[in-house]
């Protein structure tokens, strides 16, 4: 009779199990399965192991390059063969459309496979929206998983670059879960482990066995293995798969508890889900009953698993762990005749996502603006405002506190080559205070909605192709403090008079215009007779008028036409060099004055914004150690800069021996860096506002006919704040090796970033070695010098071509200065005034040396700090 009852019970559970499977039939509804790096033209495919359908990630991300793993292993899952890597930008984000307010399982998969041949495991961070999810080190673990409740219909998964390695990803998967299962109200759940306990540890249990595609690790805890071939039903929201519930363990010693542990790490709290099902046929007098403990706290007392039915017990409130690890114990009660039994455990750390996402209306407006005008800037990924260090370039936000969504208050889209009408999407930025759309090609009328934006107090529409009269609403707003500028729009007038509706003014206007034309014609005739031949470029008049299509840069320099630039360079006959802006040519004014002509190439990574920045800077700064601007060309698509010519090339050429001849003497090197320091000091302290060069390097230190140093290439220069502010947040720019690691890491720019780069220059003049050389013990020059100092191998630091022809104390003091300049922390670096004064002292020491050479042993009198990080080689954007 007892056997008959158990058979009926088993059959009934089997029926319920079949019904449950039909209701939860796996159909991948709501699944997102991306094979990252799969070519966009390649069709979706079905994974032969799981039956999951994967497609290319190309439509979900705007950046990155595709690659294939260099590992020749046969992968269990096809999607790990391809990958996408991100050499450019600090933040690269996937944009996924989801349902707001739903718990999603998010899984990011990685298979490095030495795809780049460097055999260096990447390290980077993963963010969910603006918040830090986890730091990834692919040397120790591959896939990452989190359960997260979405806050909007857009979910962004971002890879954040840190250090020198390049982020990469193989697969990205989203699976919608039931909201009545996993507890996310305390914060997202980062998976520590998910284990199905069994002695058979081959393979994983996942889709289609698990309708949510959770990946269960078959795990051997070296206890007594328990299993059944009968179906186990799951009627609770967790829907633990039958393949998991049919497995289990009990303790080897039936009198002992089952114990486990979990480590949430980094001070996080823990939530553990214990999954139970009785899978043994109990005798009439048998009882299985146990208490469930988490870190000594009772989760459930006197619990008895149900026969062939899965149940889940978990701690309602997240648990803090002592010593970083929590104990999980299943302890048999006194009345129990059988030991504890468990089928599976899921352990999660509860993350604290501090940042509220930017106001969703602002985000939606920016996405529309980005799409309409094709603004595919590398920094415009992820959340526009947070975290602040990664905010989008060209906008500013207001920050109340971390839990309040930031608002966009300033948007600068000047000089972005934008065309078409001004989109109404701008009015959805309801907290916008400043809007700069100058120096673009906007057409049509000035939209009246701009005047109705209550927060907007500053609008710059200069240098576009706007037409018609300015709506009256703007005049009313100007009375209340609105600042509106509309220069350089020849078809736009400030009032309704351009409608020409009042005909009585036509004749007077025509008469006045005719008079003006006559006067202009007479003036032109006079100028024609007085004008010298066009080849005499040196007599070109100074610019006293506004440029036709872009703002007047300044009025006290010479503006050349493109045809004049062709003549000056003799049709671009002699190339001097090539950089990010374009090719540099040799030129001559009037056949006597040599000049260097830098011509913007069509494929240049820089553009009009950098061109304009360099011209404006050089027109307002004048220093003997900064290169002088002779003139510029700004004619339609032709942009060129004309500089004073430096016949002795750049410092890098002399240190590397590229120019031949005798190596630079120490006294010459020291004089050159003193003069360069003076130029930098002037930028930092003599300019109003102060300027950061952002690209100090030996190739940008030019040498004139007297070997006087001239700092050049100001296209990346930025002004920095004075007073209370200590930095300006901006996208990272510069040259690998010279780039300040703190600026690279935080996007916070100040004058100390130039100090770091100058410190690298000092190390170059001492060693004459490449800034980055992969074949030496430490590839970066600062790390290598520090390494050699700690070894005591000081003599091998100095360029042997100097033949000890220097004052030792002078050289070692310069080395000390250099090492203080490359300190990873900007606050610990000297400023340029201090650097300049110290270098002048070194130059005095070298000039005053008398008779013979001092022994190298005198270096011991110089105390050097060698405690600095070796991670000093961020890549430039």
* Binding positions: 598
DSSP 40-74: TTSPPEE-TTT--EEEESGGG-S--EEEE-S--S-
Asked if residues 676 and 695 have their Cβ atoms less than 8 Å apart, the reply is: no
Catalytic residue selected from 57, 213, 291, 695: 695
DSSP 165-217: S--EESEEEEEE--TTTS--TTS-EEEEEEEEE-S--SSEE-TTTSTT---EE
Q: Which residues contact 112 (CB under 8 A, 6 or more apart)?
A: 69, 83, 121, 122, 138, 168
CA atoms within 13 A of residue 319's CA, in its CB half-sphere: 27
- Among residues 168, 42, 39, the alpha carbon closest in space to that of 113 is found at 168
Could you tell me the maximum CA-CA distance found in the chain, to the nearest angstrom?
126
The three-state secondary structure class of 122 is coil
Residue given tokens 């890491």 in the structure block? 745
Give the separation between CA 799 and CA 769, rounded to whole angstroms. Answer: 8
C-alpha separations of 43 from 54, 55, 58, 263, 407 in Å: 9, 7, 12, 41, 41
DSSP H helical ranges for 480-538:
506-530
Give the separation between CA 824 and CA 58, rounded to whole angstroms. Answer: 37
Strands 718-719 and 691-692 come out as: antiparallel
Strands 103-109 and 189-197 come out as: unpaired
Asked if residues 743 and 753 have their Cβ atoms less than 8 Å apart, the reply is: yes
Q: What is the DSSP letter of 114?
A: T
Q: Angle CA(359)–CA(365)–CA(369) in degrees, nearest 5?
A: 145
Kindly report the backbone phi and psi dihedral angles of residue 101, in degrees, each rounded to the nearest multiple of 5, phi listed first: 80, 20
CA atoms within 13 A of residue 575's CA, in its CB half-sphere: 5
Q: Which residues contact 300 (CB under 8 A, 6 or more apart)?
A: 291, 292, 313
Give the separation between CA 358 and CA 406, rounded to whole angstroms. Answer: 5
Q: Which residues contact 616 (CB under 8 A, 6 or more apart)?
A: 553, 554
C-alpha separations of 485 from 69, 510, 609, 635 in Å: 54, 28, 19, 24
Q: Which residues contact 106 (CB under 8 A, 6 or more apart)?
A: 128, 145, 146, 147, 148, 155, 157, 172, 173, 174
Q: Annotate 720-731 with three-state secondary structure.
A: CCCCCCCCEECC
Q: Residue 851's Cα: distance from chain center in Å?
A: 55
Asked if residues 257 and 233 have their Cβ atoms less than 8 Å apart, the reply is: no
Give the separation between CA 681 and CA 675, rounded to whole angstroms. Answer: 10
Q: What is the DSSP letter of 685?
A: I
Give the separation between CA 284 and CA 642, rounded to whole angstroms. Answer: 99
Binding-site residue ranges for ATP: 598
Asked if residues 233 and 16 have their Cβ atoms less than 8 Å apart, the reply is: yes
Q: Angle CA(572)–CA(574)–CA(575) in degrees, nearest 5?
A: 95
Strands 154-161 and 123-128 come out as: antiparallel
Active site annotation includes 209: no
C-alpha separations of 421 from 372, 466, 489 in Å: 10, 9, 14
**Residues assigned a catalytic role:** 695
């Amino acid at each position: 009779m007892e056997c008959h009852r158990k058979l009926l019970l088993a059959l009934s559970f089997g029926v319920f199990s079949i019904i449950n499977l039909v209701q939860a039939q796996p159909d991948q509804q709501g699944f997102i399965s991306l094979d990252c790096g799969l070519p966009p033209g390649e069709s979706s495919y079905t994974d032969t192991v799981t039956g999951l359908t994967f497609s290319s990630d190309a439509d979900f991300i705007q950046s990155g390059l595709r690659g294939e793993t260099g590992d020749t292993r046969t992968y269990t899952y096809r999607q790990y063969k391809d990958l996408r890597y991100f050499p450019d930008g600090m933040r690269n984000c996937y944009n996924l459309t989801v349902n707001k307010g739903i718990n999603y399982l998010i899984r990011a998969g990685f298979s490095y496979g030495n795809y780049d041949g460097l055999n260096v495991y990447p390290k980077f961070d993963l963010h969910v929206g603006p918040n830090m999810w986890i730091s990834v080190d692919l040397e120790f673990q591959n896939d990452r998983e989190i359960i997260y409740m979405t806050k909007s219909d857009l979910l962004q998964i971002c890879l954040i670059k840190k250090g020198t390695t390049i982020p990469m990803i193989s697969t990205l998967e989203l699976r919608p879960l039931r909201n009545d299962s996993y507890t996310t109200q305390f914060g997202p759940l980062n998976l520590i482990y998910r284990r199905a306990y069994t002695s058979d540890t081959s393979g994983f249990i996942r889709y289609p066995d698990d309708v949510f595609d959770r990946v269960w690790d078959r795990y051997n805890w070296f206890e007594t293995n328990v299993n059944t071939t009968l179906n186990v039903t799951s009627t609770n929201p967790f829907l633990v798969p039958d393949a998991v519930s049919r497995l289990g363990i009990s303790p080897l010693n039936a009198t002992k508890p089952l114990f486990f542990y979990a480590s949430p790490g980094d001070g996080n709290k823990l939530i553990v889900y214990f999954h139970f099902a009785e899978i043994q046929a109990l005798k009439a007098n048998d009882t299985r009953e146990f208490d469930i403990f988490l870190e000594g706290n009772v989760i459930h007392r006197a619990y008895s698993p149900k026969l062939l039915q899965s149940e889940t017990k978990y701690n309602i409130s997240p648990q803090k762990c002592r010593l970083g690890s929590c104990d999980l114990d299943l302890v048999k009660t006194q009345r129990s005749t059988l030991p504890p039994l468990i089928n599976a455990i899921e352990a999660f750390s509860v993350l604290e996502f501090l940042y509220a996402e930017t106001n969703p209306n602002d985000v939606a407006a920016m996405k529309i603006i980005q799409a309409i005008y094709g603004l595919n800037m590398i920094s415009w990924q992820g959340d526009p405002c947070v975290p602040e260090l990664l905010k989008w370039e060209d906008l500013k936000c207001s920050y109340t506190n971390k839990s309040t969504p930031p608002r966009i208050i300033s948007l600068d889209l000047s000089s972005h080559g934008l065309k078409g009408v001004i989109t109404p999407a701008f009015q959805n930025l309801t907290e916008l205070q400043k809007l700069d759309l100058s120096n673009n090609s906007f057409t049509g009328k000035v939209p009246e909605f701009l005047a109705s934006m209550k927060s907007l107090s500053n609008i710059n529409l200069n240098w576009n192709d706007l037409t018609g009269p300015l709506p009256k609403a703007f005049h009313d707003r100007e009375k209340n403090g609105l600042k509106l500028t509309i220069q350089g729009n020849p078809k736009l007038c400030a009032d309704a008079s351009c409608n020409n509706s009042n005909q009585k003014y036509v004749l007077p206007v025509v008469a006045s215009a005719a008079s003006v034309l006559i006067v202009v014609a007479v003036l032109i005739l006079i100028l024609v007779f007085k004008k010298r031949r066009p080849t005499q470029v040196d007599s070109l008049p100074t610019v006293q008028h506004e440029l036709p299509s872009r703002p007047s840069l300044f009025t006290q320099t010479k503006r050349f036409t493109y045809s004049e630039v062709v003549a000056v360079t003799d049709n671009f006959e002699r190339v001097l060099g090539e950089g990010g802006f374009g090719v540099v040519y040799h030129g001559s004014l009037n056949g006597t004055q040599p000049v260097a002509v830098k011509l913007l190439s069509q494929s240049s990574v820089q553009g009009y914004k950098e061109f304009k920045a360099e011209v404006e800077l050089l027109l307002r700064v004048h220093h003997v150690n900064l290169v002088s601007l002779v003139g510029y060309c700004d004619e339609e698509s032709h942009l060129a800069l004309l500089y004073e010519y430096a016949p002795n090339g750049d410092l890098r050429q002399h240190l590397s021996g590229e120019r031949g001849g005798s190596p630079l003497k120490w006294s010459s090197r020291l004089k050159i860096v003193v003069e360069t320091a003076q130029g930098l000091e002037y930028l930092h302290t003599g300019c109003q506002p102060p300027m950061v060069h952002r690209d100090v390097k030996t190739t940008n230190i030019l040498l004139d006919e007297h070997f006087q140093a001239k700092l050049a290439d100001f296209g990346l220069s930025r002004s920095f704040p004075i007073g209370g502010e200590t930095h300006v947040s901006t996208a990272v720019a510069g040259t690998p090796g010279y780039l300040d690691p703190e600026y690279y890491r935080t996007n916070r720019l100040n004058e100390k970033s130039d100090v770091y780069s100058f410190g690298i220059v000092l190390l170059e003049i001492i060693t004459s070695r490449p800034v980055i050389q992969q074949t030496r013990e430490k590839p970066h020059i600062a790390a290598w010098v520090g390494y050699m100092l700690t070894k005591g191998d000081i003599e091998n630091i100095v360029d042997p071509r100097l033949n000890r022809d220097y004052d030792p104390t002078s050289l070692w003091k310069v080395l000390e200065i250099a090492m203080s300049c490359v300190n990873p922390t900007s606050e610990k670096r000297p400023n340029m005034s201090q650097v300049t004064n110290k270098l002048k002292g070194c130059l005095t020491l070298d000039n005053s040396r008398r008779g013979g050479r001092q022994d190298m042993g005198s270096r011991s009198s110089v105390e050097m700090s060698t405690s600095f990080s070796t991670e000093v080689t961020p890549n430039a954007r």
